[in-house]
């Protein structure tokens, strides 16, 4: 559906997109993701000719977009942006119907289509007469989506559409996209910087860096077989599928609750409450492991609440190392009745924690395969 053939885009001497070759198949939801400046948004904007390539060709539906009038092109491509960009002086109805209006549809046809659209997302009809400023951010972006769908474009471009919304709204909209996609099977190119979002909604993830594609694969593939260290780091250790449970690295989690030894007792207690853990691992200011402290200890001590952790008497522990056998560590934890064991590197810097649940998770992947 969309093909990038050796596309380069440069501002003067700064190369933003470097000989990019990308193809997006019909009916797929492809996510472009990567660190800032990797070129993901530029790639998106090349598709609807908001930006022109310096070299190379881009084909949409087998037509080279060089030969298509940009305005006509954009009317056939849905576009949803992070700022939402609804027109504040138009009603919701007018906003939804804007592209049909540009194309000269008559009132009846517009109204019929609007009716279809609001059914699609279960939007209450009363909103049609309202103005954008009367709606919440999440509702506005749903309208933004309807606006993009209005003329049933074959492709929809979405540029960090949920970036400005709160996490709860974001999640609900992600779910809606996934549900819609099941029904409509549109070709969607979606830019985000949120890995969880990408994993959740993508059929295919394209990870970019410095204007090049580092790895492009289905989510499962990416998570199981990251191409290199960059990919691993970007995805984030805890999301990777090891599909195995051999070493400590396979079964550990990076959600370790640490506190610096200079932290006051009262803050330490608050942290434990917040994270719902019975104890903390104490580190120094370079994240080197000092030991652990339990809430019991703090309660029993007669120190004042402003005193630092280190005055209590930190219990020494023997941490685990990444390449240790997971089995051995599991057995040790069973034997010594340890609930959480910190994992450190050669320099004694804390890098993660092995807990019952992290072990269970890994085992679950091994037994049942990837999360869906």
- Residues in contact with another protein by CB under 8 A are 48, 50, 71-77, 79, 81-89, 98-99, 102, 131-133, 135-137, 140, 144, 147-148, 157, 164
d(C-alpha 259, C-alpha 225), whole Å = 34
CB of 184: closest distance to another protein in angstroms?
A: 18
Q: How far is the CB of 150 from another protein (least distance, A)?
A: 9
Which residue number, 2 or 86, has a Cβ lying nearer to another protein?
86
Least distance between another protein and beta carbon 4 (Å): 19
Residue 195 has phi, psi (to 5 degrees) of -60, -40
Instruction: Output 74 or 170, the one with its CB closest to another protein.
Output: 74
| 15-18-22 Cα angle (round to 5) | 145
107 vs 345 by CB, closer to another protein: 107
Helix (H) or strand (E) holding 270: helix 265-275
DSSP one-letter string for 113-181: HHHHHHHHTT--GGGGGS-GGGS-HHHHHHHHHHHHHTT--SEEEEESTTTTS-HHHHHHHHHHHHHHH
Strand order in the sheet with 14-24: 14-24, 2-11, 55-60, 63-64
Judge residue 37's burial from the number of C-beta atoms within 10 Å of its C-beta, 0-12 exposed, 13-18 middle, 19 or more buried. middle
CB of 66 to another protein, least distance (A): 17
Backbone angles phi, psi at 206, to 5 degrees: -115, 110
CB of residue 84 to another protein, shortest distance in Å: 6
Please say which residue, 164 or 366, places its beta carbon nearer to another protein.
164
Whichever of 15 and 98 has its CB closer to another protein, that residue is 98
The least CB distance from residue 146 to another protein, in Å, is 12
By C-beta, is 148 or 259 nearer to another protein? 148
């Amino acid at each position: 559906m969309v093909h990038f053939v050796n596309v380069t885009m440069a501002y003067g001497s700064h190369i933003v997109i470097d000989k990019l070759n990308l193809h997006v198949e019909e009916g797929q939801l492809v996510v472009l993701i990567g660190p800032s400046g990797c070129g993901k948004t530029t790639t998106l904007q090349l598709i609807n000719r908001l930006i022109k390539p310096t070299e190379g060709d881009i084909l949409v539906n087998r037509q080279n977009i060089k030969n298509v009038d940009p305005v006509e092109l954009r009317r056939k491509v849905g576009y949803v942006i992070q700022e939402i960009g609804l027109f504040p002086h138009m009603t919701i109805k007018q906003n939804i119907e804007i592209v049909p209006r540009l194309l000269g549809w008559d009132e009846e046809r517009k109204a019929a289509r609007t009716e279809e659209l609001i059914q699609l997302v279960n939007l209450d009809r009363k909103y049609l007469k309202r103005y954008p400023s009367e709606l919440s951010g999440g509702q506005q972006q749903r309208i933004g989506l309807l606006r993009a769908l209005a003329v049933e474009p074959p492709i929809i471009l979405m540029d960090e559409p949920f970036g400005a919304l709160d996490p709860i709204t974001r999640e609900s909209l992600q779910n809606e996209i996934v549900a819609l996609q099941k029904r409509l099977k549109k070709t969607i190119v979606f830019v985000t910087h949120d890995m969880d979002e990408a994993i959740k909604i993508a059929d295919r993830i394209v990870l970019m860096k410095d204007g090049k594609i580092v790895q492009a694969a289905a989510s499962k593939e990416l998570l199981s077989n990251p191409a290199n260290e960059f990919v691993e780091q970007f995805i984030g250790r805890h999301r990777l599928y090891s599909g195995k449970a051999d070493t400590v690295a396979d079964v550990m989690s990076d959600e370790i609750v640490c506190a610096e030894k200079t932290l006051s007792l009262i803050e330490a207690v608050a942290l434990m409450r917040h994270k719902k853990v019975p104890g903390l691992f104490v580190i120094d200011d370079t994240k080197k492991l000092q030991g652990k402290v339990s809430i019991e200890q703090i309660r029993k001590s007669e120190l004042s609440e402003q005193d630092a952790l280190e005055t209590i008497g930190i219990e020494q522990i023997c941490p685990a190392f990444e390449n240790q056998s997971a089995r051995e560590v599991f057995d040790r934890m069973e034997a010594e009745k340890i609930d959480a064991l910190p994992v450190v590197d050669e320099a004694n810097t804390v890098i993660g924690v092995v807990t019952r649940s992290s072990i269970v998770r890994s085992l679950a992947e091994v037994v049942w395969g990837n999360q869906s």
